[in-house]
Amino acid sequence: MRAVEAAADLYMRMDLARGGNAAIAMARGSLEWAVKLRDRPMAESTRDRLSSAIGLLADRVGWATYDQGRLEPATKLLTFALDSAARGSDRDLRAHTMLDLSVAFADLGRPRDGVDILRMALGDERISSAERANLHAVAARHCAAAGDRAAGLRHIGLAEEALARAEPALAPDWAHHITVSPGHHDSALGLALFQLGEDARARARLSAALDRLGESRTRTGLRCLTRLAVLRIREGDREAGAEQARRAVTLASDVQSMRVANDLRMMIDDVRQCGMTELARELSRSLVAA
């Protein structure tokens, strides 16, 4: 059981930093081995921990598979992760797995289903305020994608209220790499506010996230940076925006991520729409060269 927990922790660190197919292959092997352990006789307390460890490992494999653009297999893996996490006593892990599953549904063109999944997660009163804030922030993003701006803004308010009550020191170990890691909530709120068209509030949150995110959150940092570049250019600070856009393309050169690739295309499209066609061509050429 400890070996499964160690494998989940190691893979989580690898995936948060860069992702990639090699890491997925390694984690899949560990997951297949871990699942076989469930049939062995063990104390209920051990089975509880094993279920949570398998749930965490499966969630990370599912999330990485999603980030490679393989949405259908990712959804199956995340559903398995949810089933495993639900067998354990870590309610935050169950909620976070539902959050990841909701994102996969939203990207399959079903953001309202994503919101419904998060509503079910939020119905569990045992989850921490820190994870509750995370759920509301992502729900706000799904609402924006579904065209329900008012509901999205309500979720932003609820996320900020939950965040004010959060006690990071009480979070489970895995959450210190994700949910309660420095800058995470700022990034989640910033992404949602950007999609809701709340540019000034988005810029404040995204800037705060970039200031606090550690080196292990490469992709999250890039997601913030691409949007900050867009916001700077929209505000008229074209020089600073262009510098951030070039930096995003450079930093993303060795990152394997569907989300980051989509964000870079969004950024370049926005640059073009703002009339900076030469910069858009330059950024596109740099992406192809990378």
pLDDT-derived band at 20, boundaries 50, 70, 90 = low
Tell me the average pLDDT across 94-116: 97
- Cβ-contact 168, 180 below 8 angstroms: yes
**Which of residues 195 and 32 earns the better pLDDT score?**
195
Tell me the average pLDDT across 127-149: 98
Lowest mean pLDDT among 6-10, 215-219, 256-260: 6-10
| pLDDT at res. 115 | 98
| pLDDT over 80 at 2, yes or no | no
Tell me the average pLDDT across 57-71: 92
Architecture label for domain 92-216 = Alpha Horseshoe (1.25)
- What does each C-alpha distance from 150 to 147, 160, 195, 197 come to in angstroms? 9, 16, 13, 12
- Cβ-contact 189, 203 below 8 angstroms: no
Give the start-to-end residue ranges of the domains of the chain.
Answer: 1-89, 92-216, 221-290
Mean pLDDT is highest, among 166-180, 206-220, 264-278, for: 264-278
What's the maximum distance between 2 C-alpha atoms anywhere in the chain?
Answer: 66
| pLDDT over 80 at 16, yes or no | no
- What does each C-alpha distance from 113 to 102, 140, 225 come to in angstroms? 7, 13, 28
Q: What is the pTM of this model?
A: 0.93
